[in-house]
């Protein structure tokens, strides 16, 4: 269980995160999504006790992370795969972690094999690892203490397609055995495939959260993408059909396709796409929720 309650983080006059609240339940994978600079990493650092919140609270397994005795035995964390000692070998890295956590060193060897780092790779220094190999080593460290909770920030970066499939299977199996997973990733299709719930953040605030089925069910309306969206948007507004613009220039209109098509004809707009809203899955949802407001001319 992870519980975040009105977390806020300010740096001087700048608010990085504002009143963020959500829960991650056992047996689920929660996809934590947002554009660069939205506040995902700051929120995860506060959950893990690495950054003190300005206000609000975060608990893992019912208590603040810093109050968990030997936390690696209960919570597996991977926030930055590049932050590993480059002079140690993979085996040395995991053996040291095993010593700190108080687990059998034989488990370190098993974990290296389980994440796809065989003996030859384990003998190499981490400084010579690819990003994908560092990710696998970081996952091995996160799982070493046999935790009940995983908190992972962009764990699939640098992985090839086989590695991404392996990661998806690993996280799904972990959750299906009762574990709790908080996963931040820019790979929206992979998150959509593995997650049970989504939390979407933009501008430091939560803009949507809920079960996958609930959020991805088409809410009605029409998705339209025009070669030049400006004139179409003006005609829609004049017709009493306000539209929400996505970052890709698309428009989501609370009207049926016929009304949108007639407005497009009136505007002389060349349409590239016209379909019911919601069929674009997580990517469409993400773009519609995280679009930045357009500046209007005075």
Q: State the DSSP string of 177-210.
A: TT-EEEEE-S-HHHHHHH-SEEEEEETTEEEEEE
Contact between 281 and 191 (Cβ < 8 Å): no
Q: Where are the domains of the chain?
A: 2-216, 222-277
Q: Pairing between strand 205-211 and 243-245?
A: unpaired
pLDDT tens readout for residues 242-252: 887 776 678 88
pLDDT at 281: 66
Q: What is the mean pLDDT of the chain?
A: 88
Q: Which three-class secondary structure state does DSSP give residue 268?
A: coil
Architecture of domain 222-277: 2-Layer Sandwich (3.30)
CB contact set of 258 (below 8 Å; sequence gap of 6+): none
Q: How far is residue 225's CA from residue 222's CA, in Å, rounded to a whole number?
A: 10
- Give the C-alpha separation, 287 to 15, whole Å: 22
Higher pLDDT, 114 or 220: 114
Q: What is d(CA 274, CA 224) in angstroms, rounded to the nearest whole number? A: 4
pLDDT in tens, 70-95: 999 999 999 988 888 999 999 999 99
Confidence of residue 293 (pLDDT cuts 50, 70, 90): very low
Residues 6+ apart with CB under 8 A from 78: 135, 138, 139, 141, 142, 150, 151, 152, 153, 155
The C-alpha atoms of residue 96 and residue 146 are separated, in whole angstroms, by 16
Return the pLDDT at 296: 39
Quickly state the pLDDT bin for 297 (edges 50, 70, 90): very low
Angle at 15 between CA 288 and CA 32, to 5 degrees: 45
- On the question of pLDDT at 273 being above 90, the answer is no
C-beta separation of 263 from 257 below 8 A:
no
Q: Which residues have CB under 8 Å from 210's CB, separation 6+?
A: 197, 198
**pTM (2 d.p.):** 0.78
How far apart are the C-alpha atoms of 172 and 12, rounded to whole Å? 40
Q: What distance in Å separates the CA atoms of residue 229 and residue 103, rounded to the nearest whole number?
A: 59
Mean pLDDT calculated for residue range 189-201: 89
What's the pLDDT score for residue 294? Answer: 45
Is pLDDT at 253 greater than 50 in this prediction? Answer: yes
Confidence category of residue 217, pLDDT binned at 50, 70, 90: low
CB 228 within 8 A of CB 270: yes
Structure tokens, 98: 């095993």
Overall fold of domain 2-216: Rossmann fold (3.40.50)
């Amino acid at each position: 269980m992870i519980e975040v309650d009105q977390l806020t983080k300010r740096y001087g006059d700048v608010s990085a995160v504002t009143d963020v609240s959500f829960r991650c339940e056992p047996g689920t994978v929660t996809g934590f999504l947002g554009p660069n600079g939205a506040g995902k990493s700051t929120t995860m650092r506060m959950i893990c006790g690495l950054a003190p919140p300005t206000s609000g609270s975060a608990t893992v397994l019912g208590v603040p992370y810093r109050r968990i005795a030997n936390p690696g035995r209960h919570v597996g964390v991977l926030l930055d795969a590049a932050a590993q000692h480059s002079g140690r070998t993979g085996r040395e890295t995991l053996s040291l972690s095993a010593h700190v956590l108080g687990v059998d060193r034989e488990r370190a060897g098993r974990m290296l094999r389980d994440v796809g780092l065989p003996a030859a790779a384990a003998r190499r220094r981490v400084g010579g690892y690819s990003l994908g190999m560092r990710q696998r080593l970081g996952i091995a460290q996160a799982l070493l203490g046999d935790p009940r909770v995983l908190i992972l920030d962009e764990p699939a970066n640098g992985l090839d397609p086989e590695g991404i499939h392996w990661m998806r299977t690993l996280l799904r199996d972990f959750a299906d055995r009762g574990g709790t997973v908080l996963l931040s990733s820019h790979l929206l299709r992979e998150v959509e495939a593995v997650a049970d719930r989504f939390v979407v953040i933009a501008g430091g605030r939560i803009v949507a959260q809920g079960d996958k089925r609930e959020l991805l069910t088409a809410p009605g309306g029409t998705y339209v993408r025009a070669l030049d969206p400006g004139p179409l948007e003006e005609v829609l507004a004049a017709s009493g059909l306000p539209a929400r613009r996505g970052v890709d220039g698309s428009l989501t209109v609370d009207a049926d396709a016929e009304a949108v098509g007639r407005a497009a004809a009136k505007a002389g707009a060349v349409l590239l796409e016209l379909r019911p809203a919601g069929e674009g899955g997580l990517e469409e949802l993400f773009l519609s929720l995280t679009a930045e407001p357009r500046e209007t001319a005075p």
